[in-house]
Each structure stands twice: as C-alpha cells, then as structure tokens.
Chain A
Amino acid sequence: GAVVSQHPSWVICKSGTSVKIECRSLDFQATTMFWYRQFPKQSLMLMATSNEGSKATYEQGVEKDKFLINHASLTLSTLTVTSAHPEDSSFYICSARGGQETQYFGPGTRLLVL
C-alpha cells in the first residue's frame, strides 16, 4: 500500500512556541491531504483539508490562524501549531489521498506542550 510519513513522531515544547509537523506521501502524489487530531481514547477529528497549491479548508471550530497548513507540493503538507498551549497537546495524524477514494494515514505525531 501507499506510504505516508510524518515528522517528527513526537515533540515536546514550551508554551508559547510554534511547532511544525511535516506529512509526506513517499510513493504517490497526494492531490489532497487531511489533518486530524485525536485525544486519548477518542476518535479522530478532522481539522482541515488541504489541496496542493490552494488554501486549506478548515472544519468548524478549528482556528485557521492557530493551525497553519501549507500544501506546497504534491508530496508534502505541513501543519504549524502557532503559540502552542497545553490544551493543544494531542496526537496529530495526517492522511493523503491520490486520485482514488482511499486515504492513507501517517503514523502520527504526539505533541506535548508544557
């Protein structure tokens, strides 16, 4: 199956700093990438949808100025958590979709904000 990577796999940062998470599709071109967050023992909540070369579409309740998404190429999307606070601590998962209906998920990035 298609491979999606995320970097870093985990990150600890101080409150007020910004953190960038990368999502890469390694063996296919991803026309669309999705960003999810998952709290402990809960399901995945879609944060935003990004299409290469255009602005991301955010789900209701997700602050676009706090969670900056860039999809600069067909294989790379980045999520930047700006001015992170402890409540932003979560498991962030990206997925990538090529021309078909299946999304392939990255391994996730665990963010801990102190």
Chain B
Amino acid sequence: AQSVTQLGSHVSVSEGALVLLRCNYSSSVPPYLFWYVQYPNQGLQLLLKYTSAATLVKGINGFEAEFKKSETSFHLTKPSAHMSDAAEYFCAVSATDSWGKLQFGAGTQVVVTP
C-alpha cells in the first residue's frame, strides 16, 4: 500500500520568491511519484514525474523535484514564483505494480502575492 502526505494545505509566496511544496510518501514497493497542478474548474496537468531514473526531475514551467529515498520525500520547488503559478498542487504516488492507480495527497493551495 502507498500513501502521500503534503505538508501545508495553503502556501503564500511573494512574486519572485522561492516556491517549496513538501511531499512525503510511503510505499511498500518502489514508487512512481508525480506532481500535478490544477487550475480552478479544470482537470489536472502533469508537472513532472519520477520513475526510478534521475533523482532530480525537471518539469514544465520551471518546476523541479528531487526524489530522496532516505527521507521518503519528493518536494517540489521553483526558484522564482510567478503570478500564474497560483493554483492547487497535488503530489501523487503509484506502485510500480499497481496498473497506474494513483494515491493523491490532500493538495496544497498556492497563493502568489505581488
């Protein structure tokens, strides 16, 4: 079984500041890890994914995440926040043998202030 914990349901950042969204997982088998973004009244868009290759993963819109097995973490970062980054962000995990079933975290709402 696997699960995901996102620390902080709301994060407020200033435009141009670092964005850091925390995600910790638990999994009994090697996991695949994902970050998705959701804008209001829309579906989810894949930001990036970890599938057991490079531990530092670069995604779209300047986001990146690092898989740290020792810390069971997959935190999402972006060096400089933009107003368009305001959205809901979900971390998700799937087991490599689960036919792609995703377990989502509770989500983190990001607010970007001028």
Contact = CB atoms under 8 A, between A and B. Distances in A.
Contact of B44 (A44, A49, A101, A110): A44
Contact of B49 (A44, A95, A102, A110): A102
Interface residues of A, number: 23
B23 to A, nearest CB: 13
A43 B44 contact: no
Chain A facing B: main interface SS: strand
Contacts of A104: 46
A76 to B, nearest CB: 17
11 contacts: A43-B105, A44-B44, A46-B101, A46-B103, A49-B101, A93-B43, A101-B32, A102-B34, A103-B102, A105-B43, A105-B44
Interface string A95-112: 101000111111110100
Contacts of B51: 101
B99 A32 contact: yes
Contacts of B67: none
Contacts of B107: 42-43
Contacts of B34: 102
